Amino acid sequence: MKHKLNFIDSELSKIKNDNLHRKLQYGKAQGAYITIKEKKLINLCSNDYLGIPITKIQTNQLQSSSRLVSGNDESYRKLEKILSKHKGQQNSLIFPTGYMANLGSISAIAKKGDLILSDELNHASIIESCKLSGAKISIYKHNDMNDLSKKIKLQGKNKFIITEGIFSMDGDVSSLKEITEISEKTNAITIVDDAHGDFVIGKDGKGTPNYFNVAKKIDLYISSLSKGLGSFGGYVSSQNNVIDSCINKSKSFIYTSALPSFLVEHSIKRIQSNREIQQKKLHDNIAKLSEGLKSIGYEINSKSQIIPIIIGKEKTAMEFGKFLFKNGIFAQPIRYPTVAKNQARLRISVTAWLKKSDIEESLQIFEKGFKKFY
Ligand SMILES: Cc1ncc(COP(=O)(O)O)c(C=O)c1O
């Protein structure tokens, strides 16, 4: 071992002592279940919310090049057109992942001298992109419109308000109606990362802004194809000049290989599938599981498919996770730095894959865990 790298051991020891060490687990996720070490578990942490039955595709084509070189397969044009219609925007651009869509798009349009107002619970990829942009960043208290109204008065050439639609770790929805009102009054640009609301809520799964009837007031949408849609990739939808700016300025778009076209085809098939039935199944499952958890005694504030059970201490959350695993449930504890210290939680995500019996079995196990860990 190279002694020059020994400093890493002490950093890792600190992470372990704080109960924050992460380990990769190998498993096979399929539908409602995941098999780990030959144990079949009910999967309560998949983001394949709609559970669209597997779609078969004809090709397994890889382009092996950036989209600006020879990677821009024809299928992109078709999917981007569908996504623009889905979001009611002029144009769209697909990135390899939602993370890269955030990283590339915000940093392409905001710059030094601008002001970005960012919700305190925004995703890591939004935070990184804001930093990359060089703009002044002001973090407003989570979904707190009084704080946002105060902070929007700070100096900045262009002003941006950035929020998630459904928050990824708390499952609550952003106050988009109020945010768009503030944007209108102050001429701020409104950006919504709707990775968890897209395809899940709103008419025809059009997302959180559609749900609040403010879709037309959003200037830039960022989303993932890897969650509600259960496919893979990220995208942005906006007006033509924003998309052109991303093509010309987003480093996470320009300097990386194109998303394989078979995944683009996969997304097209899934968007064109009967999503309405899956949406209904999902919302029935959300109601059953969250009502069940509440009746056991858990405090559940989320109304979405993301249901966090806040435990607090990292160690207890880890022990609860192990207990669930032993009893047949996979629900990974979420700890710092994904959430604040002492805010560790079990982040349950509901999918349409779950059958009535899976939900009933899960609730029985959560009932046992309640007395031990909550
Ligand atoms: C709010 C939010 N934005 C973006 C992403 C990144 O999306 P992707 O998984 O497609 O990279 C995530 C994923 O965890 C997310 O929760």
Ligand 1 centroid–CA 285 distance in Å is 23
> Where are the chain's structural domains?
19-52+275-373, 74-271
Whether the CB of 234 sits within 6 Å of ligand 1: yes
Nearest residue (CA) to ligand 1, atom 9: 98
The residue whose CB lies within 8 Å of the most ligand 1 atoms, and thus the one to mutate among 224, 253, 266, 305, is 224
pLDDT at 57: 81
89 lines ligand 1 (CB under 6 A): no
Whether the predicted pLDDT of 59 surpasses 80:
no
Could you confirm whether domain 74-271 is CATH 3.40.50.1220? Answer: no
The pLDDT value given to residue 214? 98
> Is 244's pLDDT higher than 80?
yes
pLDDT band at residue 48 under the 50/70/90 scheme? very high
Share of the chain above pLDDT 90, in %: 96
Distance 1 CA to ligand 1 centre (A): 36
pLDDT tier, 358 (very low <50, low <70, confident <90, very high otherwise) = very high
What pLDDT, on the 0 to 100 scale, is given for residue 302?
A: 96
- In the reported structure, the alpha carbon of residue 329 is separated from the centroid of ligand 1 by a whole-number distance in angstroms of 23
pLDDT of residue 1: 67
Q: Per the CATH hierarchy, to which homologous superfamily does domain 19-52+275-373 belong?
A: Aspartate Aminotransferase, domain 1 (3.90.1150.10)
- Give the mean model confidence (pLDDT) for residues 55-77: 89
Structural contact between residues 105 and 234, judged by C-beta atoms closer than 8 angstroms: no
What is the dihedral sign for C-alpha 262, 267, 272, 275?
positive
Give the separation between CA 188 and CA 148, rounded to whole angstroms: 12
Instruction: Summarize pLDDT for 193-212 with one digit per residue, the tens.
Output: 999 999 999 999 999 999 99
CA distance 253 to 308: 33
Radius of gyration of the chain (CA): 21
- DSSP states of 83-107 as a string? HHHHHT-SEEEEESSHHHHHHHHHH
**Is residue 350 a contact partner of residue 285, using CB atoms and an 8 Å limit?**
yes
* Per-residue pLDDT, 324: 97
Measuring from atom 10 of ligand 1, which residue has the nearest CA?
98
Beta strands (DSSP E) in the chain are 28-30, 33-36, 39-43, 91-95, 115-119, 136-140, 159-164, 189-193, 220-224, 234-238, 306-312, 329-330, 333-334, 344-349
Q: For residue 199, what are its two tokens?
A: 């395809």
Mean pLDDT of 82-91: 98
pLDDT band at 306 (very low <50, low <70, confident <90, very high): very high
Closest CA to 210 of 234, 240, 176, 238: 176
Our answer on whether the CB atom of 99 is closer than 6 Å to any ligand 1 atom is yes
Domains 19-52+275-373 and 74-271 share a fold: no
